[in-house]
A = this chain, B = another copy of it.
Amino acid sequence: MNKIPVAILGATGSVGQRFISLLNNHPWFEVAALAASDRSVGQRYSQAARWVLDVPMPAYAKEMIIVPASTEAVQARIVFSALHNEIAQELEPQFAKAGAAVCSNASSYRRAEDVPLLLPEVNADHIHLIQRQRSNKGWSGCIVANPNCTSAGLTVALKALDDAFGVKKVFAVSMQALSGAGYPGVSSMDMIDNVIPNINGEEEKVEWEPRKMLGNLVNGAIELADIQFSVHANRVAVLDGHTICASVKLSAAPPDVQTISQALCAYQAPAAARELPSAPAPAIHLRKEADRPQPRLDRLTGKGMTTVVGRVRKDPLLDIKFVVLSHNTIRGAAGGSIYNAELLVSQNLLMP
């Protein structure tokens, strides 16, 4: 089988690097173009990028020449966008219009009514929203968004609970990794021996995005889930992996901890999303130890795509509380976009 040519926009940044790493030897995709800002255009990737991952730069990328992030310069059926939001807002529709399936990590179109906000293991069926998008916009391509890196893991855990018991209220406090702020991102002087108890705009995203993903696609529109969220976002001295303390009120009379744990363990992605190359295996991994999950030890569970949950216990105010861990640049960013692209392919939604 010929591999599908894909491109990465914003290839030199930290999420771009994760795309390059995860697409190395991908069974379906082949990286055909790396695009970045004008400053880098014309350079070899190995010159232009300051590589920040602890896995080496894949050989395929080293000699590729950076091209501009324009529809003229980039020829690919799938375009992974690691662009900053303002640029993404302008460029992504151009690529969609030109026929590419844009799998975006930017926040620009997450709230657009005809853009699916996708975690395939949660709401694979929302992919069909792109039919309305194409009809609205007259595009042959499309835009598909993945959620904010903190929304991702939290929503997977909530989905398992919502399916089994109904979720009504969620209180969540995040302790987020540095890679979520890009490179150079947070100053080392702000992070050694410190916590920063805020991340601009993050709380609003995490209070809204899960409602779209846990909502239903009815008559070509998403009905937001009727769940109330309160979120506090913090930055801590962790390289990768967002940890979230969550307390949840359920619709049903609260079951015991064991029943809840079983629901989390038993959760499976929808059939359409279960066998894809990047599908997390398992979707949720439940840890039983008193002090897990921990980002350093657990973030690479299921190659960084699995949502890890631990410390499930009764909550004195709501019903249950637990801890969620998710790899923010794999499940919560580049890996998530690739998983979305695989879903598009498997559903025959790419333009020929």
Partner-B contacts on A (CB < 8 A): 14, 51-56, 169-171, 173, 175, 178-179, 183-198, 200, 207, 228-230, 232, 234, 236-239, 243, 245, 247, 290-297, 299-301, 310-311, 315-318, 321, 323
Q: Which residues on the B side are within 8 Å of A175 (C-beta)? A: 175, 195, 234, 236
Interface centre among A243, A296, A321, A323 (most CB of B within 10 A): A296
A178 touches B189 (CB 8 A): yes
B184 touches A294 (CB 8 A): no
Q: Smallest distance from the beta carbon of A170 to chain B beta carbons, Å?
A: 8
Query: Could you say which of B169, B179, B200, B301 contacts A317, with CB atoms under 8 Å apart?
Result: B169
Query: Could you say which of B14, B232, B247, B311 contacts A197, with CB atoms under 8 Å apart?
Result: B311
With A186-B187, A187-B185, A192-B191: A245-B197 Cβ-Cβ less than 8 Å: yes
Query: Could you say which of B55, B169, B200 contacts A290, with CB atoms under 8 Å apart?
Result: B200
B310 touches A232 (CB 8 A): no
Query: Could you say which of B171, B200, B247, B294 contacts A195, with CB atoms under 8 Å apart?
Result: B294
Q: What is the bound-complex CA distance between A188 and B291, given in angstroms?
A: 16
Q: What is the bound-complex CA distance between A170 and B292, given in angstroms?
A: 24
Q: Which residues on the B side are within 8 Å of A321 (C-beta)? A: 230, 232
**Interchain residue pairs A-B with the least CB separation, the first 7:** A184-B187, A173-B173, A232-B245, A230-B317, A188-B191, A194-B296, A197-B323
Query: Could you say which of B53, B171, B187 contacts A247, with CB atoms under 8 Å apart?
Result: B171
A-B contact pairs, 6 of them (CB 8 A): A51-B297, A184-B190, A188-B190, A196-B294, A197-B311, A237-B237
Q: What is the bound-complex CA distance between A229 and B315, given in angstroms?
A: 9
Q: What is the bound-complex CA distance between A190 and B51, given in angstroms?
A: 11
With A56-B301, A318-B230: A187-B183 Cβ-Cβ less than 8 Å: yes
A51 nearest CB neighbor, chain B only: B297
Q: What is the bound-complex CA distance between A247 and B311, given in angstroms?
A: 21
B195 touches A238 (CB 8 A): yes
Q: Which residues on the B side are within 8 Å of A173 (C-beta)? A: 173, 232, 245
A297 touches B52 (CB 8 A): yes
Query: Could you say which of B200, B229, B300 contacts A55, with CB atoms under 8 Å apart?
Result: B300
Query: Could you say which of B197, B200, B315, B323 contacts A243, with CB atoms under 8 Å apart?
Result: B197
Interface centre among A14, A194, A295 (most CB of B within 10 A): A194
Q: Which residues on the B side are within 8 Å of A184 (C-beta)? A: 184, 187-190
A291 touches B237 (CB 8 A): no
Q: What is the bound-complex CA distance between A179 and B190, given in angstroms?
A: 11
B178 touches A185 (CB 8 A): no
Q: Which residues on the B side are within 8 Å of A234 (C-beta)? A: 175, 243, 245
Q: What is the bound-complex CA distance between A46 and B315, given in angstroms?
A: 29
Q: Which residues on the B side are within 8 Å of A310 (C-beta)? A: 197
B189 touches A183 (CB 8 A): yes
Query: Could you say which of B189, B192, B207 contacts A192, with CB atoms under 8 Å apart?
Result: B192
A194 touches B294 (CB 8 A): yes
